[in-house]
Amino acid sequence: MKFKNSIIGGATALGIGAFVSKLLGALYRMPLTNMLGSSGLGLYQMVFPVYCLLLDFSGAGVPNAMAKLIAETDKNEKQNKAFNYLKSSIILLFCFGIVGTLFMSLFSGTISRFQGNQDAKLAYLFLSPSVLLVCLISCYRGYFQGFMDMKPTAISQIIEQVIKLILGLILVGIFSFNLVLAVSGATLAISVSEVVALIYLIVVYKKRKVKVENSFIERKNHFGYYAKKIIKTTIPITLVGIILPISHVVDTFLTINIIGQYRTDATALFGLFSGAVMTVINLPVSICYGLSAVSIPAVSSSKDEEEKDRKAKNVVLLTTVISFAFFVGCFIFAPIIINILFRSLSNEEKRLAVNLLRFTSPCILLLSLVQTLNSVLIAKGRTYIPLASLSVGVAVKILLCVVLFKRPEINIYGSAIALIACYFIVCLINLIVVFKFKVRNANACNYNRQYAN
């Protein structure tokens, strides 16, 4: 009962925060789409695959790694070690974040030319400071999550969205006379929102900080000791996180360059799918993210495999029930959702968006299960299974995109088909591995009991 209360409480806090954050993001898209149009929204969406990729390279796996390391720590030394993990991660990620920010700003022109639309250069420049800021934010979020305290993470996510919404609309309105400047203003608002979120987390940490024993600091406070453990734990998690952003960058290139050969609105189609449809898909998935995030410290803190399996089973079951309900609801009410959230779209664009949303709605169930299963496998130390399954899934996804995009009658629907195939393969592999692993352990235990008797 204690476990259920802690995991449901933590998942609820993080789920509510993520849901409100995504809801604000979806509401933000309504006026943003009205002000920018499909082409402007497509230009706005172009910068995010590269941005997410840089975040993953810079250390997006750190929150999960920190949560795992702190949760595994002995209760008597948890505060002391958590302090040193936090300090070491800040130094480490500050260096990585600076490199990521400089890369995005210095190569903004080259990246935008590669994607097929050089107008994105200024948007990259204004968004580049966020790479460093998000790196620092992830350190504090990981620290709190290691103690199963999900509220600071949830509140900071809401702060990010509120600032982005208000400031973004103001800047887009000010620069409405120029589409490139308006899009760049929207990305600048993101950087400012990260500054405010970081300040909030620092203030919360200062208020809750517990005094650390000096003897412990003198014995094991050197940066290398903790940085090495953080890097060792983060690498497989980061590699898992990098795969999907890489595929999104490839999607941008394939969509605009292949579909653009026979349609002049390729950028608008990309914006409609990634900016409108995927925004709706990610909203219910974000609720299940709370279960995914809380499962790492919950399962990692378990002392034996039987307890880990029991906790993992509960988390996966909850994820399945919740995500399936959202999948069915999204499929049935797709026309209503699109009409409410994206009123400014033309009738033809709305029809396309509704069809795409229905096509893609199974991803709500599949993606929710994938992120929870990945977290369970990471918490149990089987970190390279998610890496292998995602690699296979993304390879199939890219191959399908290349084949399907070349068929004019399919065009952007190829993105939905490829995405479903990707997550289905990943989910299936992860489930098979977990199931076989459990059966093997159970058979081994039964054999040992019989042999002992």
Domain boundaries, the chain: 2-452
Residue 367: pLDDT band (50, 70, 90) is very high
For position 84, what pLDDT does the model report?
A: 86
For residues 445 and 374, the model is more confident at 374
**pLDDT at position 435 over 70:** no
Give me the mean pLDDT over the 323-345 stretch.
90
CA dist., res. 134 & res. 136, Å (int): 5
Cα separation, 273 vs 393, in Å, equals: 20
Is a pLDDT exceeding 50 seen at residue 215?
A: no
Cβ distance 358 to 323 under 8 Å? no
Q: What's the predicted TM-score (pTM) here? A: 0.73
Residue 452 has pLDDT above 50, yes or no: no
pLDDT band, very low/low/confident/very high, at 447 (cuts 50, 70, 90): very low
Question: For residues 258 and 402, is the Cβ–Cβ distance under 8 A?
Answer: yes
Q: Could you tell me the two tokens for 81?
A: 């070690």
Q: Is the pLDDT of residue 211 over 80?
A: no
Which one is predicted more confidently, 382 or 182? 182
Q: Residue 261 gets which letter from DSSP?
A: G
> 195-199, 361-365, 442-446: which has the minimum mean pLDDT?
442-446
